[in-house]
Amino acid sequence: MINVHGGGELTPLLINDADQRQKYSTEAESMPKVLLNSSALANVVMLGAGYFTPLTGFMNQSDCLKVCESMTTDQGLFWPIPVMNCVHDARNLSVGQKIALCDPHQPDHPVIAIQTLEAIETFSESEMHAMAESIFATGDSEHPGVANFLQQGRYCLSGPCQVLNLSYFENEFPDTFRTAGQIRQEIEQRGWQTVVAFQTRNPMHRAHEALCKMAQQQLGADGILVHMLLGKLKPGDIPAKVRDAAIRKMVECYFPDNTVMIAGYGFDMLYAGPREAVLHAIFRQNCGCTHLIVGRDHAGVGDYYGPFDAQEIFSTQVPAGALDIEIFNADHTAYSKKLNKVVMMRDAPDHTMDDYVLVSGTKMREILSNGKALPLEIARPEVAAIIAQYYQQENNS
In this prediction, residue 378 has a pLDDT band, given cuts at 50, 70 and 90, of confident
Identify the sign of the CA torsion 297, 256, 253, 172: negative
What homologous superfamily does CATH list for 177-265+273-396? Answer: HUPs (3.40.50.620)
In this prediction, residue 376 has a pLDDT band, given cuts at 50, 70 and 90, of confident
Residue 360 has pLDDT above 70, yes or no: no
Which of these is catalytic: 178, 184, 201, 206?
201
CA atoms of 95 and 366, how far apart (whole Å): 50
Helix (H) or strand (E) segment spanning residue 341: strand 341-344
Q: Which CATH number fits domain 18-167: 3.10.400.10, 3.40.640.10, 3.40.50.2000, 3.40.50.1980?
A: 3.10.400.10
Residue 369 has pLDDT above 80, yes or no: no
Residue 336 pLDDT: 92
In this prediction, residue 95 has a pLDDT band, given cuts at 50, 70 and 90, of very high
**Catalytic-residue membership of 201:** yes
Which of these is catalytic: 37, 202, 206, 275?
202
CA atoms of 192 and 343, how far apart (whole Å): 26
Q: Give pTM, 2 decimals.
A: 0.94
Q: What letter represents residue 205's amino acid?
A: H
Residue 314 and residue 274 in contact, taking contact as beta carbons nearer than 8 Å: no
Give phi and psi for 370, each to the nearest 5: -90, 5
Residues carrying CATH 3.10.400.10, the chain: 18-167
Residue 396 pLDDT: 76
pLDDT in tens, 29-88: 999 999 999 999 999 999 999 999 999 999 999 999 999 999 999 999 999 999 999 999
**Catalytic-residue membership of 85:** no
Residues carrying CATH 3.40.50.620, the chain: 177-265+273-396
Ramachandran quadrant class, 150 (left: phi over 0; alpha: psi -120 to 50; beta: rest): alpha
Residue 359 and residue 205 in contact, taking contact as beta carbons nearer than 8 Å: yes
More confidently predicted of 362 and 245: 245
